[in-house]
Structure 1
């Protein structure tokens, strides 16, 4: 998974252990500043992940499952969200700008204020 041998290696090793292991580590290290800016998070199952207060600027999200994920107070700037699952995800207090969302359902997203100014496009087939 991800960019091995990079500044992300510790975090990807933790995510490789599964979302429960990640969330336990986050609970045990609540004040740890996590920088995943520019990370490739494409095609991962990150449902229920705790990404609160994480810097995700310029991260790549394509085909990623973020069902019921917690992004509260995170930073999502210059992000493209393409064909992701965001059902039930929490975006309250997210700092965002220059967000593009394509073919991604936002119907049950919490904290939709992060969408202010976002470019959202949905293909006709994904609306059916």
Structure 2
């Protein structure tokens, strides 16, 4: 169950206080499961090891956010901004990232299985060691990304769009 005080802190857009709480509780893994955080400015927020599974972060600005080893399973990040976000080791399986802006994001060692990255801007993103089996990448901007041909073969073909 999400901690309502922490959720309220984020909904107020108080990233500085959120990050201070994270600094004071370095071992905490905040439970923000299925929390509605859509449309918020969360620039530079520390979501490392947080449970954001099923959360709605659509249209949110998560530029420069740190989400390393976070659980974002089935999360809604449609049209979210994740420019320069650090997502190393995060689980984004089944995540909706349709038309997300993820330029220069660190997606190394992430799980993006069955994720919807249709029309996402992934310019300069790092997919090193990422699992992208079954991901939808139709229309995505992959210019200057770090992604192997083997990884590309694991994605779904454009004609397999749901």
TM-score, normalised relative to structure 2: 0.67
- Of residues 98, 105, 108, the one that matches 2:104 is 108
Is 2:59 the counterpart of 1:63? yes
Greater helix proportion: 1
Consecutive unaligned residues of structure 1, counting only runs of 5 or more, are 1-5
- Which entry has the higher C-alpha Rg, 1 or 2? 2
Consecutive unaligned residues of structure 2, counting only runs of 5 or more, are 121-139, 142-162
Sort the Cα spacing of 1:7 and 1:95 in 2 relative to 1 into closer, same or farther, 3 A.
Answer: closer
Is 2:84 the counterpart of 1:76? no
1:102 and 1:115 map into 2 onto residues whose CA distance is 16
Q: How many residues align?
A: 120
- Deviation larger for 76-85 or 6-15: 6-15
* Structure 1 contact 46–65 (Cα < 8 Å) conserved: yes
- Of residues 9, 14, 21, the one that matches 1:14 is 9
1:104 and 1:64 map into 2 onto residues whose CA distance is 10
Greater strand proportion: 1
TM-score, normalised relative to structure 1: 0.83
Q: Which has the higher contact order (CA 8 A, sep 6+)?
A: 1
